[in-house]
Amino acid sequence: MKKRILIVSFVLAAIFLPDRPCRADGFGGFEMALKQDSIYTPGKIHLAMELTGRARMLDDYRFRVSVFTAGTLIRRHVVPASDKGPTVFELEFPEVSARTGGLCRCEWLIGGDFFESREIPFTLWPPIEPYPGESVRKKLVWTFDTSGVLQEIFDKLEVKTVDATFQLARDFGSPDIVFIGQDVDSNSVRRLTERLMSVEYKPIVIYLKQKQFPKETRLEIPVENNRPLNVKCDANSLLLNDLDVVDIMKLVENTVFVKTRKDTDVGKTIESYITEVVEDGQKNIYSYLCSLRQARQTTIYCQLPVTGRNDPRSVILLKNLLKYADHIIDSRENRTHPDSERSPL
């Protein structure tokens, strides 16, 4: 089966998507914004509408809000506009059984007559479900996340983890999978990376979004022109299961890619699943999500947000990262190691 490769230009995507994750700005008299455009159910949408400086309160200004799910109108409500600040509209949704697309449409009425409109799409999701993989229960999963958010998400997924920010936890046993949390202190990351590289048994290490990486990783984050413009996605990758191209573009927005050279050491393989296409003579790889393999060591670098916001898409990505690491361990020829091979970290 041929790989499906999706290439999305942000210049073109901007025609179809708001220039911010949940905001629709116009050139006219009002703006509207959703507090969140990806929502667990039961849950609430929070829509704010506000007149701009181009609109003067000289008449009867109103906003007519229409909410659609699966193409069906479920609510229409008219609220008066205010020149004192945003006008807020909220709607509570019951639990849905499957991912459901929706749309908020706001019409600006002047004296009861239509003048201008804005639209923002949103997605409703079923409640968060436990991670389905039974095999992961037999593995030791470490989380090194000083914010504690990563541990909280794994608790909701009913995945047992060890909080490796405590030295006592690192003194006993050796992990199969290690998650390094988002934007962890660089010195802490460096020390943990050095220790993980020094042990004989090599766990799967997953770096979530970082501001910089230890020099041992040979990855850098370019400062200039580091923004999504021409993104290529490997749609067949296990890491992108249950995420469509719109989901991926939402996750890529406002993040940065890592840069690494293609001509790596012998026996080292780099594979990028979400790539920024940059013309540089094909000397480097620019990636938002990639894996690096060498001998028994597999490392995954994910620059997409996983714990930075309460977004169902981020939780799906975290599940995929765990499933991917779980699958690699299970597919190793000799995945059972004597205790003597595992030295405490």
Write the pLDDT tens digit of every residue in 302-315: 999 998 778 999 99
Per-residue confidence (pLDDT) for residue 188, from 0 to 100: 83
In this prediction, residue 72 has a pLDDT band, given cuts at 50, 70 and 90, of very high
Report the predicted TM-score, pTM, of the whole model to 2 decimal places.
Answer: 0.83
Residue 118: C-alpha distances to residues 2, 86, 95, 114 (Å): 40, 15, 27, 12
Least confident stretch, 18-22, 50-54, 78-82: 18-22
26-125 CATH: 2.60.40.1930
Query: Which has more confidence, 93 or 112?
Result: 93
Ranked by mean pLDDT, the top range of 57-66, 87-96, 130-139, 327-336 is 87-96
Q: Contact, 278 vs 228, CB < 8 A?
A: no
Long-range contacts of 113-118 (CB under 8 A, 24+ apart): 115/28, 115/29, 116/26, 116/28, 116/29, 116/30, 118/24, 118/26, 118/30, 118/31, 118/32
pLDDT score recorded for residue 29: 81
CB 135 within 8 A of CB 330: yes
Most confident of 1-10, 15-24, 50-59: 50-59
pLDDT(268) > 90 = no
267 pLDDT more than 60: yes
What percentage of residues in the chain have a pLDDT greater than 70? 82
What are the pLDDT digits (tens) for 113-167? 898 999 999 999 999 999 987 788 888 999 999 899 999 999 999 999 999 888 7
What's the pLDDT score for residue 17?
37
Integer CA distances (angstroms), 3 to 234, 243, 249, 269, in order: 7, 16, 19, 18
CATH 3.40.50.880 is right for the domain spanning 135-341? yes
Task: Please say if the pLDDT value at position 200 is more than 80.
Answer: no
Residues with Cβ within 8 Å of 7's Cβ and at least 6 positions away in sequence, in order, are 230, 231, 232, 233, 277
* Edge-to-edge strands, sheet with 61-69: 38-40, 113-125, 100-110, 61-69, 72-80
Residue extents of the structural domains in the chain: 26-125, 135-341
